[in-house]
Structure 1
Amino acid sequence: MTASLEPVDAILAKKDGRELTGEQIRGMIAGFTAGDVAPEQMSALLMAIVLRGMTRREIGDWTAAMIDSGITMDFSDLRRGGRRVPTVDKHSTGGVGDKITLPLTPLVASYGVAVPQLSGRGLGHTGGTLDKLECIPGWRAEVSVDAMRSQLGRVGAVICAATADLAPADRKLYALRDVTGTVASIPLIASSIMSKKIAEGTQSLVLDVKVGSGAFMKDMADARELAETMVALGADAGVRTSALLTDMATPLGRTAGNAVEVAESLEVLAGGGPADVVELTAALASEMLDASGMHDVDPLRNLANGKAMDTWRSMIEAQGGDPDAPLPAPRCTHEVIADRDGRLARLDALAVGQAAWLLGAGRSRPGQAVSATAGVVWHAAIGDQVRRGQPLLTLHTDDETRIEGALAALDGGVDVRVEPVSRPASRILDRVPAAG
């Protein structure tokens, strides 16, 4: 490493509140990925970024350097039936009960758009899409790039794990951020998400930025800043990017866990399901279809006529899964009972997410096994009438000893009140349009 790229120079520059040069950023990212920059040096720089922030130019350079650390995919020549097929993807910043990727991917693909959905695993109270799909017997998350291209051509949809050589700097950096208290930084979050999505090679991208207790971003101002930053990064890279800001004060749908969320997704694909899950699925599908040049399309049509379900079945089968196999069931269940008549006034997303995690649905460290059957089912939505003695929630687990901890996590997170309670109007709080 040359003198101009000494790690300590970059660390001191950011510590003093100065902009990093493009050369410094590229040198630090490439050096850390290759093992030439020590973890303690990168940790110091990350903490300085958390405290001092980054300019718009720095964030762009940081994102580009992470993309350049590995391969990039390109599906621009994808064809089906002799015609070019547009590609579009969705990314959610994570929440409780957020199973939207499962019905959304086949729904959008059922209109002739290709959806290359690279997804991840859960950590802590937020669930992972791959963990949910692995509840389906035979389904595999690992798909080669060639197999992914073939499946997109035949089926139009694939949900799979990202390959290890796609933005490898991000994987290494995130592991370091996780153990050094440097996760909470909008520049670092935005560049982490967008480096992977841009490297994935999709032509359009729709972001679902969650806001509330069960989300990483707790307030609207931070969520909007994150959304606007990511939309701009996408535009810089030539990826048409828009974002919806959506409510995560209460958990999404009626389930949080793995198999229980797959079951709920199947209800949506069959034309039913909870109203808020259907609303958000349709809103994101409209954004994705519009970005692909399909304007004024009603996404609900292919939920009602079965085409989205047909695409789901083809997608699951293409990855070795059996769409007709029964989902795993828990060995133990426990009901949380209403202690009074009234209306459900509070169902805190973070409390529900932590309960599901403690029941075995989530992991506390990467690589840890999760339970397919663990999770939480709630039987009322905010504003619904409940009766004393009626089950409010049902806890699912294979390990009865986990129930006590889950109940403790829910303490104070569920409230039934006698006075009137207004229902949330919509999950959609705001929209950040694509640039231009």
Structure 2
Amino acid sequence: MQINNILNVLSRKRDKEILSREDIIFFVKSVKEGIVDDSQIAAFLMACFINGLDNEETLHLTQALANSGNVLSWGKAMSVDKHSTGGVGDKTTIALLPVLSAYGFLVPKMAGRRLSYTGGTIEKIELIPGYNTKLSISDFVKQVERIGIGLISQTEEIAPVEGTFYKIRNHTGTVESSQLILSSIASKKLAVGSNFIIFDIKSGSGSLFSSYTASLEFAKNICNVMKKFNKKVSYIVSDMNQPLGKCVGNRLELWEALSFLHTREPYSLDKLIFNIFSNSYKAYFGIAPEKEINKIYNKIFEEGRTVQKAIEWIKNQGGDPKYVENPDYLLNGLNKVEILSSESGYIQGMDVRRIGWIGHYLSDRVDGGIVFNILIGDKVEKGDVLANIYARDINKLENIDLASCIDIKESICKKRELILDSKIL
């Protein structure tokens, strides 16, 4: 009988019918109970991908996925969660959490692994020897309540059916569906339970949303869904026509994120993190002049509180704090190859998706990555070093044509703005 009901849900969605709340709850519950096999899940996801979900279906799917596991609550605490729709070089979470926590925000964070060409936070943080991304929910809650910060990977205890969907989407060509992306993100945010949630929606050639219009529409949609669950929300639309920061590849991105806590470099990462900090401050304390918030932000770094908080966090999750104290330990044993410009001119653009896939290749094969020396709009001369590729064994590098990912022409090109829009709703 259940099998017939499952097939009924699949065939109706295939035929472009609208699924009811009961249909969606039933299907998600059946996945959790193991009644639905992977081929049926793939069929459901493909039907949703091709035919879309309306607003009510998306809302019901979000709630059903969130309720498939534990739903946490942090009471009236100043809890903050951040989500990025994914990009290349996006190591924001690792750099951001100690900044927010050092000020006094509670930052419980459950992060994902890489999806398609975009990087994953968990692969990066796991490069710190001993760091435990698989705390039980009980231990995770105790740690966050005790020290104000925690970062774990997707767990069977939190939105487990979403985790199943996430894996299958990555292998079935159903990643780039705005409704499935929305329900995936929103369900995990609901389940983790923070009171204020900020969404960093990427826009551009290296984003799931190539146009600003599509990014802004998604930002407003996901915020509207979260507001229906009585959450404070904010969105940022940020540019992803070039990698965020200078580094691409797990080890180098981790190095850049931890170095940021000491140096506040690179500028693009600092600008994004300040914007998230500012919106979090305003969400809890009301509108304040940017200069006032900037003074508070600067003081956190000047007093060394970001590094101190990161050390406390990493130690509490079993990691070796020496990598926070001196991130250069992460670079030990790496060799580099220079990528030179074959012509003079201005950087017009980058093939960000190809760069993302190259970053995956370097991370997986040679435990390395890329450090860029250029941004869109920069002037370069023939022979200038555009980037360095790092690897444990440079002899294992094969067919990496990074230079062809960088478009150079004689005409002057404007530099790109990072923050395209930012609002608290």
TM-score clears 0.5: yes
CA contact (8 A) 1:22 1:58 kept: yes
Tell me if the contact between 1:113 and 1:292 (Cα under 8 Å) persists in the aligned partners: no
What's the counterpart of residue 329 of structure 1?
A: 332
| Residue aligning to 1:81 | none
Q: CA deviation at 1:276?
A: 1.0
| Cα distance per residue 1:48-81 (max 9 Å; x no partner) | 22222222111111111112211112222xxxxx
- Name the residue aligned to 1:353: 356
Most deviating of 265-274 and 163-172 = 265-274
| Residues 431, 120 of structure 1: alpha-carbon distance in 2 compared, 3 angstrom cutoff | same
Deviates more, 1:119-128 or 1:204-213: 119-128
Structure 2 counterpart of 1:365: none
CA contact (8 A) 1:340 1:387 kept: yes
Amino acid at match of 2:82: K
Work out whether residues 154 and 163 of structure 2, in 8 Å CA contact, stay in contact via their aligned partners in 1.
no
Q: Structure 2 residue aligned with 1:390, among 384, 387, 390?
A: 384
CA distance in 2, matches of 1:258, 1:39: 29
Question: CA 1:328 to 1:320, structure 2 compared with 1: closer, same or farther past 3 Å?
Answer: farther
User: Do the aligned residues in 2 keep the contact of 1:89 with 1:288 (CA within 8 Å)?
Assistant: no
Alignment-mate amino acid for residue 49 of structure 2: V
SS in 1 for 2:47: helix
Measured after TM superposition, the shift of residue 209 of structure 1 is 0.9
* Superposition map of 1:252-401 within 5 A: 252-293=244-285, 295-296=287-288, 297-298=293-294, 299-325=297-323, 326-359=329-362, 361=363, 373-400=367-394
Alignment of 1:32-431 (within 5 A): 32-76=31-75, 85-293=77-285, 295-296=287-288, 297-298=293-294, 299-325=297-323, 326-359=329-362, 361=363, 373-400=367-394, 402-407=396-401, 410-424=402-416, 426-431=417-422
Given residue 317 of structure 1, which amino acid in structure 2 is its aligned partner?
K
Q: 2:313 & 2:140 partners in 1: Cα distance?
A: 11
Indicate if the aligned counterparts of 2:137 and 2:157 stay in contact, CA closer than 8 A: no
Counterpart AA for 1:341? S
CA contact (8 A) 2:279 2:424 kept: no
Q: Quick one: distance in 2 between partners of 1:377 and 1:2?
A: 53
Identity of aligned residues (%): 30
Q: Secondary structure at the match of 1:163?
A: coil
Listed as ranges, the gaps of 5+ residues in structure 2 are 324-328
- Gap regions ≥5 residues in structure 1: 77-83, 363-369
CA shift digits 1:66-119 (9 cap, x unpaired): 12211112222xxxxxxx632111011111111111121111111111000111
| Deviation for aligned residue 1:12 | 3.2
Any conservation in 2 of the 1:270–1:304 contact (CA below 8 Å)? Answer: no
Map of 1:79 onto structure 2: none
TM-score normalised by L of structure 1:
0.88
Q: Distance in 1 between matches of 2:108 and 2:101?
A: 10
- Judge conservation of contact 2:117–2:357 (CA < 8 Å) in 1: yes
For residues 48 and 116 of structure 2, what CA distance do their matches in structure 1 show? 24
- Tell whether the 8 Å contact from 2:261 to 2:306 is kept in structure 1 after alignment: yes
Distance 1:166 1:243 in 2: 24
The alignment yields a C-alpha RMSD, in angstroms, of: 2.3
Instruction: Decide whether the 8 Å contact of 2:370 with 2:390 is kept in 1.
Output: yes
Question: Secondary structure, in 3 states, of the residue corresponding to 1:19?
Answer: coil
Matching residue of 1:8: 7
CA distance, structure 2, for counterparts of residue 2 and residue 176 of structure 1:
22
Give yes or no for contact 1:69–1:169 (8 Å, CA) kept in 2: yes
The C-alpha deviation readout for 1:99-140, integer Å capped at 9, x for no partner, is 111121111111111000111222443222122222223322
Offset of residue 350 of structure 1 = 1.7
Paired positions, count: 414
Question: Aligned equivalents of 2:308 and 2:143: distance in 1?
Answer: 15
- Alignment check: 8 A CA contact 2:242 2:375 kept: no
Amino acid at match of 2:34: G
Shift of 1:330: 4.5
